[in-house]
Amino acid sequence: MAHDILVTGGAGYLGSTLVPELLAAGHRVTVLDNFMFRQTTLNHVCNNPNFNVVKGDIRVESVIAPLLKKADIVIPLAALVGAPMCNADPVGARTINHDAIQTMLGLMSREQRVLMPTTNSAYGSGDENNFCTEESPLKPISIYAREKVAVEDSLMKRENAISLRLATVFGMSPRMRVDLLVNDFVHRAVHDRFVVLFEGDFKRNYIHVRDVARAFMHGIENFDRMRGQIYNVGLSEANVSKRELCQAIQKRVPDFVFLDAPVGKDPDQRNYIVSNAKLEATGFKPSMSLDAGIAELVKGFVMLKNTVHGNV
């Protein structure tokens, strides 16, 4: 069944991968984006009659309200993403990541559906074993994670909503980000050949950007049985430490060297192992392994060497 779908921030890292998939499935898609990075990531779908694009700010009610009225499904991707970007602009983080979403939810009817990307960084360090399920207490460390937790709480008060707690995303995308951990380490391996690790035993979960798009598609297709729920979205075999990640990269870039810093702490103190069993029980299975994503990134970074492709 085709739907009218509004994707805010649809020209970004996730959106520029997801929007073509939505269109290929026959949906009518409107993207609202402020194009703050001057990206041209949706050029290739402009010939599709089911695609519409609006340049604007999600914080402006007169911009978002008429677009919401036409939507069956809303996928709010627009955000200042990541702790460094939010720390650099805490006011923007609050107004975009929290206030604008609360306004949007207030303008929507109960019949309209929302699929919201949240973050498993909200787990902080997990329990005493660093293990996390959707039922685990949330211990957000960053401004970004705290705002996402607050939004998720409001979201779950709706019946027609799904929250997808995304693992750290990696992989090539039309609107590339080099500042994400896997992408960053592979970029350093390709161009610098070394990285210094702070607290290299800290673990995180990872997921390829195309599998994130597939998770949204899965949520749309299985909405009736998934609604009102929170799902972790990650690779179950990729709960790995930073040191293990570097070892995986070294298999693809043999002359890559990584060293443990003798002193100092990582400003990012996230350290957790995440269960993705709940989403897998609905029939979802990621298609891209960590190794395949690293191989893809190695090829991609032959073409990219600059600081434009990031959020900070």
> Which 3 state secondary structure label does DSSP give 194?
strand
CA distance 27 to 29: 6
pLDDT value of position 163 = 97
pLDDT value of position 244 = 98
Residue 168 has pLDDT above 80, yes or no: yes
CB 112 within 8 A of CB 73: yes
CA distance 104 to 96: 11
Decide yes or no: CATH 3.90.25.10 for domain 181-205+237-303. yes
Per-residue pLDDT, averaged over 252-275, amounts to 87
Helix 290-303 × helix 242-252 angle, to 10°: 60
Residue 129 has pLDDT above 80, yes or no: no
Residue 77 has pLDDT above 70, yes or no: yes
Give per-residue pLDDT as tens, 258-267.
Answer: 999 887 777 7
Q: Which two tokens stand for residue 153?
A: 């709480």
Q: Which helix (H) or strand (E) holds 204?
A: strand 203-208
What's the residue count for the chain? 312
Kindly list the domain boundaries of the chain, sorted by start residue.
4-170+208-233, 181-205+237-303
pLDDT value of position 135 = 93
Of 99 and 121, more confident = 99
Of 89 and 218, more confident = 218
Residue type, 285: K
* Angle CA 219–223–228, to nearest 5: 100
Distance from chain centroid for Cα 163: 12
Q: How would residue 312 be classed by pLDDT, with cut points 50, 70 and 90? A: low
Q: How would residue 158 be classed by pLDDT, with cut points 50, 70 and 90? A: confident
When the pLDDT of each residue in the chain is averaged and rounded to a whole number, the result is 92
Highest mean pLDDT: which of 18-22, 38-42, 89-93? Answer: 18-22
pLDDT value of position 128 = 66
Q: Is 136 left (phi over 0), alpha (psi -120 to 50) or beta?
A: beta
Residue 140 has pLDDT above 80, yes or no: yes
CA distance 162 to 159: 9
CATH level 3 topology of 4-170+208-233 = Rossmann fold (3.40.50)
Burial of 176-203, coded b for 16+ CB within 10 Å and e otherwise, reads bbbbbbbbbbbbbbbeeeebebebbebb
Record the pTM. Answer: 0.94
